[in-house]
Structure 1
Amino acid sequence: MPTGTVPTGTPAAGTARLSLATVCVSGTLEDKLAAAATAGFDGVEIFAPDLLADPGSPAAIGARCRDLGLSVDLYQPLRDIDSTDPDRFAANLRRADATFEVMAGLGADTVLVCSSVSPDAVDPAADADLLAAQLHTLAARAHERGLRIAYEALAWGRHVDTWDASWDAVRAADHPALGLCLDSFHVLARGSDPAPIAEVPGGKLFFLQLADARELSMDVLSWSRHHRLFPGQGGFDLPAFLAPVLAAGYAGPLSLEVFNDVFRQSDPVRTAVDARRSLIALAEATALAGAGTDPVATAAPSLDGTAFVELTAGPELGRVLRALGFSRTGVHRTKQVERFEQGGARLLVNAAGTGSGAVAAIAVESPDPDASARRAARLCASPVPRATGPGEAEFAEIPAPDGTALFLCRTSGDAGPDATHGPPWPHDFVGVDEAPAPGTGITGIDHVGLTQPYDAFDEAVLFHRAVLGLDPVGDGEYAAPFGLVRSRALADPRRRVRLALTVSVLRRGDWSPAVADPQYVALACDDVLATAAAARAAGVPLLAVPANYHDDLAARLDLPAGTVAAYRELGVLHDRDAHGDYLQVCTELLGGRLFLALVQRTGTHDGHGWPDAPVRMAAHRRSRLARG
């Protein structure tokens, strides 16, 4: 599993229990329960369709849960209970009685009752007393069996479609076995203010369901059924939702109910681990905002930059780096790895790779790598053992969701036997007797761009946010030559570390472009025209950009003729927004899918060149096909 397994002793979200709805993950009920247990959840919500497809009796399923160390925290859903038709309501009560029998077998004491979407639903604006009476009757029948009713307002409910409307109904029904189920999606998708939830008596908050989502323009039912995400993967302010729930005195589990088409066809264990990470990270963020207990208890590292990026490629990459003005400054003591440096940019070339250029590892500067590794482990991202020789640096390696290694390390510091954190990573390299290259103006690593596997994009966003403390700084979609691409950029507050993640929105068929899943390292420079001109003169294979692009660019930006001529010659791509400019010049592919980009930012431009990505992708395909 690329992001590791849950380490023994990993704390839950403070003192809260963590629960997972079976609808969140793929597989049969047996697969889902095993995944929840493996990931370290305390309990589950069992979704009725999962139970109906299982050959075991409710009692056998309940026993299976207990054997796995899981409680059944909720059974759901019981739909469309209230009715203006007395005969229909009587039939609904018989259906509820059958549900209560299932719950008894499972060992569940709470059932989710959704607000009705049926045409015969009771409208509380017309007859609040009838709705209250029917909910009271239902709760009384549950109470006789020692069960509880958690009433939830669906965002698309026929009449009750907001959390405060559901609270009005629960108060009016006035039964101790009737309380609220609050679902963050239903509350936040409607734009409701969660702050007044703090005024609800904690004893009336029976259950809490959490989900994130991107802001999408579509009907709320489709949005909910297909596009929910785990906390930290979308755009909802979930700490602002959870804080008033905890302030009200809610003492039940933090549970996830996430309907997502990708998650429901992915590895269930991996998805469950990601789910648990999301709850721990949410509890931490909420505690830092002043509510609840921090389960991580180790702050995100104050990153000091990208220590190095390790690349796998053939001999061509070393030649290109020299032509770009990089100096070869060291060779690894025990591995076939060379170190190249220019300004603050450090690139390691691993000659033991497959020869197909790719980003193998990203190392970030942490002032306390050991503490950073402990934080990662508490967020379900355990470091993996690294093979090191005598006296070599021992720093944490954490596999990212796409298989890239994430290193937490130091570049400088004491390397002696009494060093607090062991020697810094440069100690692993032996210097070479080569004259330093003059350089071409590269000052550092601006960012790293990684195309994610189809199933791992949202997981990767959460992983890097939680483990490194990065924040989203941009997202969007663009129509590329080979299909729609989704993008999301992450960075630390000081912009010392930036990542640009992309993914194809739909799985590809048999036909695919000549360049699949590209990766790149963006190298910062102060004058991209001067750096690119020096690189071209030294023989760096720069990517040719069509004249049509520059004709349009000149018209849009009203650029001087001399600037446009330089852009044409060097293949400059130029994105401008209200905050500044982003200029980039890309190399041709250096191996299977790797390229380098020379980038210059002006003002406070915070983008990553995505408006020009379709032009660049088409140019790379032409270049690859031309080279055979």
Structure 2
Amino acid sequence: MKYQPAIMSASLGRAWLHNLNYKIDQAAKAGFKGIEIFYEDLEYAARESSGQETPSAEHILSAADRAHEACQAQGLEVIGLQPFLFYEGLKDREQHARLIEKMKLWLQIAKQLSTNTIQIPANFLPAEQLTDDLDIIAADLRQLADMGAAENPVVRFAYENLCWSTYIDTWEKLWEVVKRVDRPNFGMCLDTFNIAGRVWADPADPTGKTPNADADLKLSLERMVAEVDLAKVFYIQVVDAERMESPLVPGHPFHVDGQPARMSWSRNARTFMYEEDRGAYLPVEDVARTIIHGLGYEGYVSMELFSRTMAEPGQHVPDEHAARGIAAWKKFQQRLQLE
């Protein structure tokens, strides 16, 4: 099979409300073939099993081992572990050193999960805590890539721009960093929401769009096909988001002081593809077509979601999210004529 559907464990419900094994079961039952494991799911499972508020590395590794067994039993491949947050470009080099130590544990977790990929979202700490020097950012990420390259089997790192990241907020900036890192095991996760959500959409604007949205997206996608090396696209995520009924500014229910509007939007109001009844409006199919048909990507397509709907209690939440995710996949598969 050239294409397989995957889903992120956190897309099926919050870790503190919804059991990881149950989410794994529902993902497999719905028809997914792969799953991204969210670190917080493992941490919470370790907290439950150990009775410790701060579980030890051994307890987290044990939770990873149990999660892997559950995935194996259901025929699910763990396509990645995420998100390794707030790492690159830190001005606080003592914190950088602490995160290097943390990565040593993550590399062990990846082995327990039998996955070869760790995902790193581009840093979105406040600008005063970060450097915008791309050489320093690349050097930090190269350090992780070299750690992963020393593992057997080699661990890859999929770097992802977030549409609210402090500096690396577009795929173009992401690609520039990947080129500077220049390691075979360091590539990209391309996310339709984070691409369209930056160049095309603006939840704080009454129109829901940026100025010149359509023209800017068209040019951006043309550049993607012309410039990106397909070998550096490690996997993709396809997801949409709601158009806000009113601008996401102070006074909006999703607004958080000091938090970028796009981050508040992402945390509360993403949708699966084609969920127009839930307000989906981004041109994410155009982005996905560019990656799949323009670049020639083949492999896992992850239906990633963050939404306020994940925070509801009850077993119906993983059930419904799994059903919604696979319905989106089936329509996506049909519309893009994927094998």
TM-score between both structures, scaled by the size of structure 2: 0.77
User: Structure 1 CA distance, aligned partners of 2:195 and 2:176?
Assistant: 15
Q: Distance in 2 between matches of 1:118 and 1:236?
A: 26
Q: 2:71 matched to 1:65? A: yes
- Which among 158, 169, 172 is matched to residue 166 of structure 2? 158
Q: CA deviation at 1:264?
A: 4.4
What's the offset of the Cα at 1:112? 0.9
Check if 1:237 corresponds to 2:283.
yes
Answer whether contact 1:240 1:286 (CA < 8 A) is retained.
no
| Match among 279, 302, 326 for residue 276 of structure 1 | 326
Q: Does residue 226 of the first structure (1) align with residue 268 of the second (2)?
A: yes
Conserved in 1, the CA contact under 8 Å of 2:123 and 2:168?
A: yes
Residue 20 of structure 1: aligned partner: 7
Q: 2:231 is matched with which residue: 203, 206, 225?
A: 203
Bigger proportion of residues as helix: 2
Q: Aligned ranges for residues 136-151 of structure 1 at < 5 Å?
A: 136-145=142-151, 146-151=154-159
Q: CA deviation at 1:198?
A: 2.2
Counterparts of 1:128 and 1:227 in 2: how far apart (Å)? 31
Indicate whether 1:191 and 2:199 are aligned: yes
How far apart are the structure 2 equivalents of 1:122 and 1:108?
31
Number of the residue aligned with 1:256: 303
* Residues 170, 179 of structure 1: 8 Å contact kept: yes
User: What letter corresponds to residue 84 of structure 1 in structure 2?
Assistant: K
Distance in 1, Cα, partners of 2:101 & 2:75: 32
| Counterpart contact for 2:39–2:82, Cα < 8 Å | yes
Question: Could you say what secondary structure the match of 1:262 adopts?
Answer: helix
- 1:111 corresponds, among 118, 131, 134, to 118
CA shift at 1:117, angstroms? Answer: 1.8
**8 Å contact 2:2–2:299 — kept in the other structure?**
no
8 Å CA contact 1:183, 1:211 repeated in 2: yes
Q: Which of 127, 130, 145 in structure 2 is aligned with 1:121? A: 130
Confirm whether residue 98 of structure 1 aligns to residue 125 of structure 2: no
Write the distance in 1 (CA, Å) between the matches of 2:262 and 2:93. 30
**1:66 Cα deviation after fit:** 0.8
Contact map agreement 1:110 1:148 (CA 8 A) in 2 = yes
Letter paired with 2:12: V
* Equivalent runs, 1:406-421 vs 2, <5 Å: none
Superimposed CA distance per residue, residues 339-373 of structure 1 (whole angstroms, 9 cap, x where no aligned partner): xxxxxxxxxxxxxxxxxxxxxxxxxxxxxxxxxxx
Aligned length: 273
Q: Which runs of 4+ in 1 moved over 4 A?
A: none
Are residues 1:44 and 2:35 paired? yes
Q: Distance in 2 between matches of 1:160 and 1:20?
A: 24
Counterpart in the other structure of 2:258:
none
Taking the aligned partners of 1:213 and 1:244, their CA distance within structure 2 comes to 19
Deviation of 1:177 (Å): 0.9
Partners of 2:110 and 2:329 in 1: CA distance:
26
**CA distance change for structure 1 residues 89 and 263 in 2, over 3 Å: closer, same or farther?**
closer
Higher share in strand:
1
8 A contact 1:203–1:249 mirrored in 2: no
Whichever residue aligns with residue 271 of structure 1, its letter is H
CA-to-aligned-CA distance 1:181-237 (integer Å, 9 cap, x gap) = 111111111125251322311110012111111222321111100110010011122
Contact 2:170 2:199 in 1 (8 A): no
In 2: Cα distance, 1:99 partner to 1:122 partner: 25
- The one-letter amino acid of 1:203's match is A
Name the CA distance, whole Å, in 2 between partners of 1:99 and 1:19.
21
CA deviations on 1:479-534 (whole Å, 9 max, x unpaired) are xxxxxxxxxxxxxxxxxxxxxxxxxxxxxxxxxxxxxxxxxxxxxxxxxxxxxxxx
Relative to 1, partners in 2 of residues 1:86 and 1:267: Cα closer, same or farther, differing over 3 Å?
closer
The answer to whether the 8 Å contact 1:238/1:282 transfers is no
Structure 2 CA distance, aligned partners of 1:25 and 1:264? 10
Larger radius of gyration: 1
Amino acid at match of 2:146: A
Q: Could you tell me how far 1:93 is from its partner in structure 2? A: 1.1
Q: Which amino acid aligns with 2:232?
A: K
Give 2:210's aligned residue.
none
Structure 1 residues 87 and 267: CA distance shift in structure 2, 3 A: closer
Distance 1:78 1:175 in 2: 18
Q: CA offsets per residue over residues 417-454 of structure 1, 9 Å max, x none?
A: xxxxxxxxxxxxxxxxxxxxxxxxxxxxxxxxxxxxxx
Shift of 1:286: 2.6
Code of the aligned partner of 1:190: R
TM-score, reference length from structure 1: 0.42
Letter of the structure 2 residue corresponding to residue 188 of structure 1: A
- Structure 1 position 131, deviation (Å): 1.4
Residues 2, 298 of structure 2: 8 Å contact kept: no
Residues 226 and 261, structure 1, Cα contact 8 Å, conserved in 2: yes
Deviations along 1:312-342, one digit per CA (max 9) or x if unpaired, are xxxxxxxxxxxxxxxxxxxxxxxxxxxxxxx
The answer on whether the counterparts of 1:211 and 1:231 sit within 8 Å (CA) in structure 2 is yes
Matched to 1:208, the amino acid is: I
Letter in 1 for 2:171: W
1:50 & 1:41 partners in 2: Cα distance?
A: 18
Q: 2:79 and 2:33 mapped to 1: Cα distance?
A: 9
How far apart, CA to CA, are the structure 1 residues paired with 2:271 and 2:43?
25
For residues 147 and 76 of structure 1, the distance between their equivalents in structure 2, rounded to whole angstroms, comes to 13
Counterparts of 1:92 and 1:236 in 2: how far apart (Å)?
Answer: 35
Q: How far apart are the structure 1 equivalents of 2:320 and 2:2?
A: 24
Give the Cα–Cα distance (whole angstroms) in 2 for the partners of residues 258 and 139 of structure 1: 27
Task: Tell me the CA shift for residue 267 of structure 1.
Answer: 3.5
Following TM superposition, by how much is the alpha carbon of 1:159 offset from its aligned partner in structure 2, in angstroms? 1.4
Residue 132 of structure 1 aligns with which residue? Answer: 138
Give structure 2 stretches of 5+ with no counterpart.
50-61, 201-216, 249-260
The corresponding residue for 1:581 is: none
Map 1:495-510 to 2 at 5 A: none
Distance in 1 (alpha carbons) for counterparts of 2:98 and 2:43:
20
Answer yes or no: is 1:77 the counterpart of 2:83: yes
Matches within 5 A, 1:440-479: none
Cα gap change, 1:263 to 1:81, in 2 (>3 Å): closer
The alpha-carbon deviation at position 263 of structure 1 amounts to 4.4
Match of 2:23 among 25, 32, 43: 32
Shift of 1:46: 0.8
- Aligned counterpart in structure 1 of residue 94 of structure 2, from 84, 87, 92: 87
Any residues of structure 2 matched to 1:271-310 within 5 Å, and which? 271-287=321-337, 293=338
